Amino acid sequence: MAPVALPAPRPATVAPASEPRDVDDDQELVLEDLTREQVLDWRNRAAADHQIVHDHIARSGEQSAKRLFTRSFVATVQRLSGLGHLDLGHTPWGQA
């Protein structure tokens, strides 16, 4: 029996992903049009700055945020913001 030769894997063509920051504020974000790398970039930036999640919810709704960032992450951000952990204007009890 002759050995079977498989073709060599083709190198992946990586198209330069457009930065989500370049998205026009008036333009609606279509999740289906995002590449995997763009979704991961959105999630990484949201992990560093939870205000991104709040801004997305205000702009596109909570369901869209849950699809983009995951349900559990959005729930965690909302729970933590309700505790005052993310509120930069929070006043400590002793100063109130």
Which two structure tokens, joined as six digits, stand for 4? 């079977």
Give 33's pLDDT tier (boundaries 50, 70, 90). Answer: confident
Which two structure tokens, joined as six digits, stand for 18? 């457009």
Higher model confidence: residue 63 or residue 26?
Answer: 63
Q: Which long-range contacts (CB under 8 A, 24 or more apart) does 75-82 make?
A: 77/46, 77/50, 77/53, 80/50, 81/50, 81/54
53-71 pLDDT tens trace: 999 999 999 999 999 999 9
Q: Read off the pTM.
A: 0.57
What does the pLDDT read at residue 8? 52
Task: Give CA–CA dist 22/26, Å, rounded.
Answer: 12
2 pLDDT exceeds 80? no
